[in-house]
Amino acid sequence: MAVNQIPQGSATPQETDIGVPVRAVPQQMDRISFASAITGGIDPTWGAVVGSIGTGMTVNQTGGNLVIVAGTTAAKETIIRSTKTYTGGIRLRATTTLSQRIVNNNFYVELVDVVGDNLAYSITSATSMTVTFTTNPFTSAHIGQSMYLGNFNGTGTWLSGRYTIASVSGNTTTYTVAGFAVGTGTLSVFGWNYYQLQYTGATATAVNFDTQRKGWNSGFTAATINTTAAPGHMAIVTGNDGISTFADQTVASATSIQQTYRANRSQNVPDDIPLYTQIRCSNGSVAPASSTTWTVGLVNVAIYANQNVTLNDVRPMSAATALPVEITRAVALTSSTTVTANGGTPFANPVVALTGDTGAKIASGVGATITNANAKGAQIVINMGAVSGTTPTFVAKIQGSADSGTTWYDIPGATTASLTATGIYGIAIYPAITPLAASTTTGTTAGVSFVLPRTWRLSWTIGGTSPSFTITNVQVSYLL
C-alpha cells in the first residue's frame, strides 16, 4: 500500500497518510528560593513588594528563607508578587512555618491575576466604594462578580478583602464593602481569578482552599493539613483541564510518601488565565493580640502540558466501564520477610504477605478476607504449631468470592489432605500447572491449576474429640 505524506492545510487525513509525530511540551519550572540575605525586601530577580511593607510588619530574606513578621497593627497588609505569570497546567508548591496561629493574623499563598495597581479609590459610605480605571475592564455584565481589593494607601477606614461589583459606569466600578469609612487614595485590584490558600484562625492544622474564575468561586473548603507549627508543611496546589487539587505533606524527613490530598475543585478553575505568584500577609480589622512570624522556605511553580493519549478501536464494555484500562496507583502488601540488597541495605519483599490467621483453632471456621492485588496465583503455606485432642483432624481449603466478600465458593482442588500433626502444609494455585500433592520435610503441599481470585480466604474444617490446632502463621507468596 502506498503511503502519502503528512496531510497539509485543511486536507482530511486518510488511512494511508503518515501519522503526525507528537512531542510533549517540556515542563517549565521556577524554583523561587531565598538564598540571598536581604533586609527589608526580597530578591528582585523573582518578585517585588507591591506598594510598601505594611506598618508594623517586616520582610527579610535570611537563612535561606523568606521571613515575614506580621506585627500587631490592625488592617495592615504586605503583598509580595512574582515578576512573571504562569498559564495552563500549573503546580504550586510552598512551604509554610508559622510561629503561632492567632486570630487577625492572616496569611495567603496564591496565584492571582492583577486587574490594576495604584488605582484611585473613593469610599463614599460604610458599605460602598468606587474604583477608577484608566480603561475599565468591567461592564454591567460583570455585576455580581467578586475580586480582591487591597494595598490601600490613603485616607478613610478600609480592610483588604474580597468584594463584589455593585455597579459599573464608564471607567468607574462601585463595590459593596462593609465597615468602611469615607476617604480617598489608591489601591490594587487583583484576584478576579485565583488559586488560594488562606491561613487564618488559631488552628495549626487547618487552611482554607478555594479557586475562582472570572469573579465566581465555590467557597472556601476548610481543609485539614499536617501542621503549620515547626518544622511546617508543604502545600501543593495543582490546576489543569478544569480540575484543581490541594494536597500537603510534612516538611520533616520521612521514609515513605507523605503527600495527602485534602480538597479539590471541578468548577471555577482559572487554568486558562495568566496568574502571578503572590505571598500576602494581612491583619484583620481588630489588632492581633501578638505578632506572628511567617517563614516561607521555598516557592516552586511549574507549568506543563498533559500528554493526551487516544486508544484506537477500543470497544467500551458498558456505559459504566468505558475502557478496559486500569491505572494502579498503589498496592499495599504486608511484608513478612526482609532481604538484603548489595551493600547490606535491607528492603521489603513486596510479594510476600501474611493473612493474619493465627492462634488456636478448636472448631471449623474461616480466615480473613484477602485481596489479591495483581497476581495470577500464590503459594499459601500454613505453619501449624501445637496440635492436641483425640484423633484431631484439620482440612484447609481456599475459597473465592463472586461478589467481593459476601458469597463464597470452593476453588476446585485447592484442599489439603487431613492434617493431624505439627508441620508445614500448603496449597499452590496457578493457572496451567500440573495438579499434584508433593511432600515437604514436615508436611504436604497440594497443587491446583486455577487462577487466584481477586477476593479469597482460607477455610478450615476441624474434627475429632476436643481438637485444638494452633496456627503460627499463614504466609502467602504471590506469583505474578
Q: Are residues 388 and 472 in the same domain?
A: yes
pLDDT of residue 255: 74
Q: Tell whether 420 is covered by a domain.
A: yes
Q: Are residues 399 and 292 in the same domain?
A: no
Q: Are residues 285 and 404 in the same domain?
A: no
Q: Are residues 298 and 411 in the same domain?
A: no
Q: Tell whether 283 is covered by a domain.
A: yes
Q: Tell whether 173 is covered by a domain.
A: no
The contacts found for 43-46 with CB under 8 angstroms, 24 or more apart, are 44/83, 45/83, 46/82, 46/83
pLDDT of residue 134: 95
Q: Are residues 357 and 300 in the same domain?
A: no
* DSSP string for residues in 198-227: EE-SS-TTEEEEEEEETTEE---EEEE-S-
Q: Are residues 204 and 74 in the same domain?
A: yes
pLDDT of residue 349: 40
The CATH number of the domain holding residue 425 is 2.60.120.1110
Q: Are residues 189 and 44 in the same domain?
A: yes
Q: Give the global pTM.
A: 0.64
Q: Tell whether 35 is covered by a domain.
A: yes
CB 182 within 8 A of CB 156: yes
H or E element at residue 235: strand 233-240
Q: Tell whether 124 is covered by a domain.
A: no
Q: 3-class DSSP state for residue 294?
A: strand
Q: Are residues 359 and 246 in the same domain?
A: no
Q: Tell whether 325 is covered by a domain.
A: no
Q: Tell whether 384 is covered by a domain.
A: yes
Of 275, 304, 333, the one marking the end of a domain is: 304
CB 288 within 8 A of CB 72: yes
Q: Are residues 100 and 247 in the same domain?
A: yes
Q: What is the pLDDT along the chain (480 residues), one digit of tens a residue?
A: 555 555 555 566 666 766 666 666 567 888 888 999 999 999 999 999 999 999 999 999 999 999 999 999 999 999 999 999 999 899 999 999 999 999 999 999 999 999 999 999 999 999 999 999 999 999 999 999 999 999 999 999 999 999 999 999 999 999 999 999 999 999 999 999 999 999 999 999 999 999 999 999 999 999 999 999 999 999 999 998 889 999 999 998 877 778 899 999 999 999 999 999 999 999 999 999 999 999 999 999 998 776 666 666 666 555 555 555 555 554 444 444 443 334 444 433 447 888 889 999 999 999 999 988 888 888 899 999 999 999 999 999 999 998 888 899 998 888 888 889 998 888 888 887 776 665 555 566 788 888 889 999 999 999 999 999 999 999 998 887
How far is the C-alpha of 47 from the C-alpha of 33, rounded, in Å?
A: 11
Q: Are residues 276 and 356 in the same domain?
A: no
* Residues of the domain holding 396: 352-479
Residue 147 in grid coordinates? 475580586
Q: Tell whether 197 is covered by a domain.
A: yes
Q: Are residues 217 and 275 in the same domain?
A: yes
**How many domains in the chain?**
2
The CATH number of the domain holding residue 260 is 2.60.120.200
pLDDT of residue 339: 38
How far is the C-alpha of 273 from the C-alpha of 112, rounded, in Å?
A: 9
Q: Are residues 432 and 360 in the same domain?
A: yes
